[in-house]
Amino acid sequence: MEIWFLGTGAGRPMKHRNVTSIALRLPDPDCSLWMFDAGEGTQHQLMRTPLKLGKLEALFVTHLHGDHTYGIPGLLSTRSYVGGNSPLQLFGPPGIREMIETALTLSSTHLDYEITYHEVFEGVIYQTERYTVEALPLEHRIPCFGYRITECESQGKLNVELLQQLGVPAGPLFGRIKKGEDITLPDGTLIRAADVTGTPVCGRVIAIAGDTKPCDNASRLAQNADLLVHEATFAAGQEEKAHLYGHSTTVEAATTARDANAKRLIMTHFSTRFVEEDLAALEEEARAIFPNSSAAHDLYHTEVPRVRG
């Protein structure tokens, strides 16, 4: 599982920093792409990465401010041109469908695939065989949500040597055991999956907070997460200004991560007042509170490893 920061700025694009968008590349066997927000120019940023827009399966929008949404119509249109014709799931606050369909209709944009719109509410909003996505409302100037992605636990590695000793033939039975199913051999021998597989591998949890002031729901999203992505629009000491506009500081993002027992924090959504040379200082502010903090820059990407239970 790999996370990419396609844009890390707030408000408007800068020469060296685009507005907000995050991409999550899922591992085998899915190999699909999920995106979170798509500010103006997001499809241009995608062209600078190995990510394939045709693999886009779901788009989650935190809120309807332009620096998080103005790139969506172009992104959806280009997806058709690059062979993305499978259905797309699109999640967002009330108004997301009207916003996107108005832009597509008035521009006479034709898509070669179906969009299923989901107006987001608090709770579980999406489930697949391997992932569950929950949404919680945050505190911003307009309705805004954060998302928590939880991966299912997977079975440990099969002990092939032991299975052979027990007389289990390779083939479909191996597959059933790998899925956690106990089996009975023709001679009546019961093979328990737990006895012939290694330690289960815990599912990963990623929390992505939209624009927000510090609030209880941000902490709930981040609880015990492997990775918390949190906005840090302002620097330490600028709390009053941050809260006035519904935002957080570096120190507040780090405090949320620490108090929620998250394993890692990546900050994004930096004000245009900060240039790239300022990121190191912003990072240090957060690390004073939560040592495993980092400040993302455009096209920064990192693996989110699984941990064996």
Catalytic residue numbers read 67
Annotated binding residue at 211?
yes
Annotated binding residue at 65?
yes
- The residue assigned the tokens 């509410």 is 121
Annotated binding residue at 230?
no
Q: What is the dihedral of CA 224, 31, 33, 197, to 10 degrees?
A: -10
CA distance 224 to 217: 14
Annotated binding residue at 110?
no
Annotated binding residue at 297?
no
CB neighbourhood size of 2 (10 A): 14
| Spatial CB neighbours of 169, under 8 Å, sequence gap ≥ 6 | none
CA distance 231 to 91: 20
- The residue assigned the tokens 């935190």 is 62
Annotated binding residue at 247?
no
CA distance 302 to 208: 15
Annotated binding residue at 298?
no
Which parts are annotated binding residues? 63, 65, 67-68, 140, 211, 269
Which parts are annotated binding residues for Zn(2+)? 63, 65, 67-68, 140, 211, 269
